[in-house]
Amino acid sequence: MIRFLDPAKISYRNLTASKLRSLLTIIGIIIGVAAVIIIFAVGKSAQNLIVGQIEGVGSNLIAVIPGASDEEGPPAAVMGVSITTLTYADLEAVRNSAEIPEIEAGAGYVNGTVNVSRRDTGLNVSLTGTTASYLDVENAEVAKGRFFNTDEEKNLSRVVILGDEVARELFQENNPLGEKVEIKDQNFIVAGVLKEKKSGGFGMSDQDNTIFMPLKTAQKLILGIDHLGYARFKASNPETIDFVKNEVTSILRQEHGIEDPADDDFSVRDQAATVEILDQVTDVLRYFLLAVGSISLLVGGIGIMNIMLIVVNQRVREIGLRKAVGARDADIIIQFLIESATISSIGGAVGIVLGIAVSFLISFVAQAMEYDWDFIISPFSLVIAALISIAIGIIFGIYPARKAAKTSPMESLRYE
């Protein structure tokens, strides 16, 4: 024990004697550890928010996404690849099938971004082209006016439904019903305004900042496409999900002339599978950001090694004197490893506190914006951050410590 206490005391005196140098050395560790804590906390909170919003729509929804995929991974369309194999005819085939009376409603969707303007006010907003059954599928409500009907869905009608935020931005306190807005040099009549629904953000569709128009209108007049982005079907109850999925798959294979399941050009997923896909996608993003944040830890470790090499050169006479009076190589190595580990541990502790503080601030701001944002600090992330900071000090302190231990006492005592 004495063998470890003496180097520790010497290390403490050397660190406190050079406070500025020690502070500059640990900045990289502080930033890296704080980044690890923040990424773990914010990533998990955002993941919970997104998954919670999907689950809030209901557990009896089935999604049809263009593009084949296995059960372990997301379809290519989820990753941003444009696939055109799903059509309005597919949607109608499923909705009108007598084989699936368990389907209460079904809706098709296309999405884009457009500029909508009224007089001198213009906004860039999300556009959703959908069917008249949107309200039933998404559990949405109209606050003013009405939603478009089935005839308007099919006949290129130029009507729009505004999200709550869009309506307030364009019309302030005025009544928007019956007024005209301009989209791509074409006039559309405002038929209704949806009830405010705090959702979206952080990668989710935000109904309040979206305008809705009939599916065919969006396809032909605005986006210039014939395919669907995806479709959703609402089953009568969660117990029928598996049956409905199988029937929908069978109908779509008939529509697409597919005999071998390996040739499927679509994916049918229930809500649980959608949540699992999002978990996978967000986990990939979270760990990617974690890897990027860890780069600062590497930089901090290199900084510790450089400073410790400088310290070794500055304390050659001290090392030589200690060895001359009986200090062994192991004592010198322990001394310098304790110094480097102490520097990185202090940086880790400060980084943990900073990471928790920033995560709390982000949580506070998100909740002030009325998002259902949880403040989550994983004990696992704290342990990992602490262990990493100590490990970095030891790993990057080994080379300077070994160099110090190899110093010759005679040469050291003659060193000026």
**Residues 325, 402: one domain?**
yes
* pLDDT per residue as tens digits for the range 188-211: 999 999 998 765 443 446 788 999
The reported pLDDT for the residue numbered 5 is 55
313 within a domain of the structure (yes/no):
yes
The reported pLDDT for the residue numbered 259 is 86
**Residues 250, 132: one domain?**
yes
171 within a domain of the structure (yes/no):
yes
* pLDDT per residue as tens digits for the range 11-68: 566 666 666 766 777 787 888 888 888 888 887 787 777 666 665 555 678 889 888 7
- Between 18 and 305, the higher pLDDT residue: 305
**Residues 249, 328: one domain?**
no
**Residues 111, 233: one domain?**
yes
**Residues 97, 142: one domain?**
yes
> Which range marks the domain in which residue 177 is found?
84-264
* Res. 212: pLDDT tops 90: yes
* Res. 291: pLDDT tops 80: no
3-state secondary structure the chain: CHHHHHHHHHHHHHHHHCHHHHHHHHHHHHHHHHHHHHHHHHHHHHHHHHHHHHHHHCCCEEEEEECCCCCCCCCHHHHCCCCCCCEHHHHHHHHCCCCCCCEEEEEEEEEEEEEEEECCEEEEEEEEEECCCHHHHHCCCEEEECCCCHHHHHCCCCEEEECHHHHHHHHCCCCCCCCEEEECCEEEEEEEEECCCCCCECCECCHHHEEEEEHHHHHHHHHCCCECCEEEEEECCHHHHHHHHHHHHHHHHHHHCCCCHHHCCEEEEEHHHHHHHHHHHHHHHHHHHHHHHHHHHHHHHHHHHHHHHHHHHHCHHHHHHHHHCCCCHHHHHHHHHHHHHHHHHHHHHHHHHHHHHHHHHHHHHHHHCCCCCCCCCCHHHHHHHHHHHHHHHHHHHHHHHHHHHCCCHHHHHHCC
**Residues 119, 253: one domain?**
yes
136 within a domain of the structure (yes/no):
yes
pTM of full prediction above 0.85: no
How does the average pLDDT of the chain come out, rounded?
A: 80
| Residue where one domain finishes, among candidates 232, 264, 296 | 264
The reported pLDDT for the residue numbered 190 is 95
**Residues 115, 40: one domain?**
no
78 within a domain of the structure (yes/no):
no
**Residues 304, 249: one domain?**
no
How many domains are there within the chain? Answer: 2
| Residue where one domain finishes, among candidates 241, 264, 287 | 264
The reported pLDDT for the residue numbered 202 is 39
| Residue where one domain finishes, among candidates 213, 230, 264 | 264
Which segment of 206-220, 238-252, 397-411 scores lowest on mean pLDDT? 397-411
The reported pLDDT for the residue numbered 1 is 45
